[in-house]
Amino acid sequence: MKRNLLKITALSFLAFACTEDDVVQEIEETNPPIETGQARLVINEVEYLGNRVEIFNAGDAAADVSGHWFCFGPGEYAQISDLQREGDLNVAPGQYLSVSLDKPREAGGLGLYSVNQFTNADAIVDFVQWGAAGNPRESVAVEAGIWTAGEFVPVQRSAENSIIFDGDGQGAANWSETTSITIGAENVLTMPEALKQSIVINEVQYGNLNYIELYNNGDTGIDLSNYWLCLGPGQYAQIGNLSPKSGDINLESGNYVVLPMNMPDTQGGLGLYSTNQFTNAEAIVDFVQWGAAGSARENVAVEAGIWTTGDFVPTVGLSASMEYDGEGDAATDWAPEAIPSLGEPNDAAVKTTVFNVTISNVINYLNVHTFTTPVGQSNPGPLTEEGGQYQIQFQAVPGTRFTPVTMMGNSNDWFLAPEDLNGIALWSNGAALNGVDIASELILYDLGTEADNDPATFPPAGANVGPADANPLVRVVEGNSNRGDFYLSAILDYTPGNGTEAGTFTLTITKKATNFVVTPGIAVLHALANPLFTLGEQDRGVGLEAIAEDGNPMPLYNWFTETGTQGTPLRLASSLSVFSPGVVYAFNGESDPLVGQGQENNSENGLEEIAEDGNNAVAMEYLRAKGVPVAASNEMAPVGPGGELTFTLEVPDGQNFKFGFATMFVASNDWFLSYNNAGFPLFDEAGAPVSGFGASEKSYLYDSGTEVDEPVGFGMNQAPRQSAANQGGADDNPLIRRVSALTDVQFGKGTISSGPGVVWLQDPRGGYNLVRVEIRPQ
């Protein structure tokens, strides 16, 4: 039946009295699909509070309607030939027939039938219902495929109005209420003035959100189901088919409804229509255009007197909106709003939540080595004779701490470890320790896991055989002979690297002439204090007990080197690096405004400056200009292991904002840490702000694709070593991508493969173990 855009209102329909349902007769189809030489009869106009109905022949052959019937429902029908009429019962193509029906009604459903079989879908020719759904003959029309269940034409309930068919299509969307009653002539759409002034486009967020807010500033509610939104040819949507973000399509006076619709981010024009007659100035209800003049429906709005040729609202930021001031029809009646107020008055104070964000550099364990087999021996064992030695080699870079541990073999749970709980610094005053005996920096500790001074339970009595210690806390063994150099020497020698990888340390442990038995042990390379135990606390239960009681380093070694579900380390960090000052931001669209994984980087957005040089200023300016909530780190300098980047980020409530961040992995050419492109939701389904470490889980290491990669920590074009910003050649692959593999040339762990580029220390998949992200609302 109908398909043109007309303005829609709340309608009431007319009715008329008939007698009763008749006996079934043979039906001769008088209104089949249009073919050459076929008539096509349609109900074309209805005075729903008057007494006239208009039939139109839209076919190309005449039709005799003397045997046709109108029917509202059981007991309410009449044969057309029995009714008062204007026009010929033999309706010629393109001609009208006006019929008088003396039963007006505010809500009804009217069927045109070829015979009086009113429950037979083959007999119904056309149908329309107004004011309400569920009229008696609706089900027949639905079965015939000429109406949709539950649809009706809204009406204003005014005797001065009629409802008219737009000439094409089937359903309520093809009908509109008009103040120009033209029974017997071509339909004219003149939307009731009350409706024109009632519904306005009140706010548009065409960037990240793609939402449109409509407001009813009139005195009565209006059903918007049959209204349309149109951007131009092929870009339209019937409001009844949209799912509101908030509000109701049956829009009461003083209320708002927020509707989804994809819109262009830079320039466009949006029309609100009462029907789908998009080129009809009587059908357009409201209009706004932005970014540039000349959008597809501008001329319609100009003809309707609701816009000025060439006028447009300047483009707003990506997550901002433009808001109507409530008066006038000019671009100057619209203003940008950095924090959209969708679903609320435009002048209402926008509710926001302030989040404290902490991005922690949690790089700690860098590598681990065991010493188990004495020099010159083929099997693991302790050093029991003077001059016996263990020797290991390891790679390390400046900033690394070193903690060796060995058991005092003739004790229950005593062990040697550095007195400085930060570990031993492998560089002093910029120079590597070379030819330096570190034994004097070691002291004896009691692990507190086994009762002391019981030789019967010393090794080799068996693993873990002694009774529990009454004091379970780790403590220093007091006495004059508690220093390591009384029992052994531990000399570090150093050979520099070749410029593309770290140099090598050699640790040689030599037993002295004492009763002290030196057992196999472990050497941990780390960045943070207390790598193995905390003085005054109980043992952590991860393997140190096996060294302290039994001289067995393997349980602790296995704990350090354990891998996750993707076969990468759970605890060992891939690299030693600082993080640059960064940015955090919030967005509420589908795409991250800064990081576009799988895309070539936008050279204007500042991501390259972060990823290559640790400069967050350009990204801050770019995101602010886009209207994106953004904050720079409070810290102006890079932060190393144990350090934190802290931020304060203010975000609007109720708009599905998500979290993103970026900070440079400074030991690289153009790598950075960020949350994945989907963004981390800052509010739960109930709208409450989230709190905790959830944003850590899907944070990853990215390559910005802007500079060719060099060995981590050794590139001459990396920020700490380059002569100026933006040095280094172009990357052959210019796409932003996850770092799926990293070769450790700092500590000699080889290639670490993490397909997704995992960086969270506690991720069960394992990965690079670099960061923790914490978000707490104030």
Q: Which class for 279: exposed (0-12), middle (13-18), buried (19 or more C-beta within 10 A)?
A: middle
Mean pLDDT confidence for 62-78 = 95
Task: Give pLDDT, residue 129.
Answer: 96
Please say if the pLDDT value at position 437 is more than 70. yes
Mean pLDDT confidence for 427-440 = 97
Spatial separation of the C-alpha atoms in residues 741 and 613, rounded to whole Å: 22
Please say if the pLDDT value at position 34 is more than 90. no
Task: Give pLDDT, residue 24.
Answer: 35
Task: Give pLDDT, residue 231.
Answer: 97
Task: Give pLDDT, residue 586.
Answer: 95
Minimal CA–CA distance to 665: which of 725, 729, 599, 614? 614
Minimal CA–CA distance to 126: which of 147, 136, 112, 114? 112
Mean pLDDT confidence for 73-82 = 95
Please say if the pLDDT value at position 358 is more than 70. yes
Digit-coded pLDDT (tens) for 182-221: 999 999 888 787 666 689 999 999 987 899 999 999 877 7
Spatial separation of the C-alpha atoms in residues 45 and 618, rounded to whole Å: 62
- What average pLDDT does the chain have? 91
Minimal CA–CA distance to 657: which of 593, 574, 750? 593
Task: Give pLDDT, residue 13.
Answer: 32
Task: Give pLDDT, residue 197.
Answer: 63
Confidence of residue 8 (pLDDT cuts 50, 70, 90): very low
Please say if the pLDDT value at position 318 is more than 90. no
Q: Do the strands 321-324 and 199-205 form a parallel or antiparallel pair, or are they unpaired?
A: antiparallel
Digit-coded pLDDT (tens) for 150-190: 999 988 889 999 999 988 888 888 898 999 999 999 998 88
Please say if the pLDDT value at position 12 is more than 70. no
Digit-coded pLDDT (tens) for 522-532: 999 999 999 99
Supply 490's token pair.
């531990």
Buried b (16+ CB within 10 A) or exposed e, 676-694: bbebbbbbeeeeebbeeee
Digit-coded pLDDT (tens) for 625-683: 888 899 999 999 999 999 999 999 999 898 889 999 999 999 999 999 999 999 999 99
Please say if the pLDDT value at position 28 is more than 80. no
Give every CB contact of residue 343 below 8 A, 6+ residues apart in sequence. 213, 245, 246, 247, 256, 258, 654
Confidence of residue 755 (pLDDT cuts 50, 70, 90): very high
Mean pLDDT confidence for 734-751 = 98
Digit-coded pLDDT (tens) for 224-236: 988 999 999 999 9
Task: Give pLDDT, residue 102.
Answer: 78
CB-CB contact of 588 with 726 (8 Å): no
Digit-coded pLDDT (tens) for 703-730: 999 999 999 999 999 999 998 888 889 9
Digit-coded pLDDT (tens) for 319-329: 789 999 999 99
Digit-coded pLDDT (tens) for 593-624: 999 999 999 999 999 999 999 999 999 999 99
Kindly report the CA angle at 169 between 168 and 173, in degrees rounded to 5? Answer: 105
Give every CB contact of residue 498 below 8 A, 6+ residues apart in sequence. none
Minimal CA–CA distance to 578: which of 668, 632, 529, 638? 638
Longest dimension (CA), the chain: 130
Mean pLDDT confidence for 100-109 = 87
Please say if the pLDDT value at position 501 is more than 80. yes
Spatial separation of the C-alpha atoms in residues 87 and 562, rounded to whole Å: 92
Q: Does the pTM of the predicted model rise above 0.95?
A: no
Task: Give pLDDT, residue 349.
Answer: 81
Rounded alpha-carbon distances, angstroms, from residue 661 to 435, 581, 639, 692, 719? 45, 11, 16, 16, 20
Mean pLDDT confidence for 339-352 = 87
**What SS3 string covers 237-283?**
EEHHHCCCCECCCEECCCCEEEEECCCCCCCEEEEEECCCCCCCCCC
Mean pLDDT confidence for 264-287 = 94
Digit-coded pLDDT (tens) for 117-136: 999 999 999 999 999 999 99
Digit-coded pLDDT (tens) for 359-407: 999 999 999 999 999 999 999 999 999 999 999 999 999 999 999 999 9
Mean pLDDT confidence for 141-153 = 95
Give every CB contact of residue 57 below 8 A, 6+ residues apart in sequence. 39, 40, 41, 63, 91, 92, 93, 94, 95
